[in-house]
Amino acid sequence: MPDVLGIGVQTTAGAKLAMSPNLPATLDLAGFRAVTGFVDISEVTNYGNLTRAFASVNHSAVDRRMVQTLKGTMEANEQTIELGRIKTDGGQLLLDKFCDGDNVDDHATFRITLKDGTVYYFCALVKSLDTILGEANTITGYSAVLAINTKVFTDVGTMYTLNYTAGDNGIVVGRKTQLVADGADGEYVVAVPDDGYEFSKWSDNDSTTAVRQDIAVSDDVNATAEFVDSNS
């Protein structure tokens, strides 16, 4: 029976933010992939939301006595990012430079990479960079507002599916269906036999180790845990 609860769901933990002073030659995914000079921005505590919204265009036909709403232009949107301040962090210094320094009027390219390998690209102005002080127990930080003036491009890269099933007389514990980026690691799964049986091997590689993690994934995986009578 498939695990229908939470397949593919993940947390934002492990996501990384980077910024480049260079702009793409073309406003498409190929152009963004070719951008160089990215600098990591460390200690991000909240990524906010990447909003994709369109202006509403209303049409009211007299004979229908009804207002229809259509999609107009894609609206420019803002993303608020919060982070802990490190005065020597290269990425944070670059944010400051593009807020009110030498590059105050310039766009920069931003890249957000999720732990499953999905990458979001966009160009934005650093509209503001507030220093968070608060009270005695507050972590000194920044709140940066990015005015996004391009489409947000999503790069899922190459993804592979890992399927783990159990043969007769046992179960597989862990996430049985996993979607993993090329070169990334899968999650651990464990083959657990029923009473009176023992784990024999995984069908795809003859491994006799019940605990399994596929690392540096480069292809789809379909593996069945096989069990045998422990008295045979």
* Domain final residue, candidates 134, 155, 176: 155
Span 108-131, pLDDT tens digits:
999 999 987 889 999 999 999 999
Span 172-214, pLDDT tens digits:
999 999 988 888 889 999 999 999 999 999 999 989 999 999 9
For residue 116, being part of any structural domain is answered with: yes
The span from the CA of 170 to the CA of 195, in Å, is 9
Structure confidence at residue 31 as a pLDDT band (50, 70, 90): very high
- Least confident stretch, 8-12, 48-52, 94-98: 8-12
Residue 217 has pLDDT above 80, yes or no: yes
- Predicted pLDDT at 7: 54
- Please state, rounded to an integer, the average pLDDT across all residues of the chain: 91
- Predicted pLDDT at 2: 44
**Reported pTM:** 0.70
- Predicted pLDDT at 51: 87
Whether residues 84 and 120 fall in one domain: yes
Residue 5 has pLDDT above 50, yes or no: no
Span 41-92, pLDDT tens digits:
999 999 999 988 899 999 999 888 899 999 998 887 899 999 999 999 999 9
For residue 167, being part of any structural domain is answered with: yes
Residue 93 backbone phi and psi in degrees, to 5: -65, -35
Whether residues 25 and 116 fall in one domain: yes
For residue 37, being part of any structural domain is answered with: yes
Residue 80 maps to which CATH number?
4.10.410.40
Find the domain containing 109 and state its range: 16-52+66-155
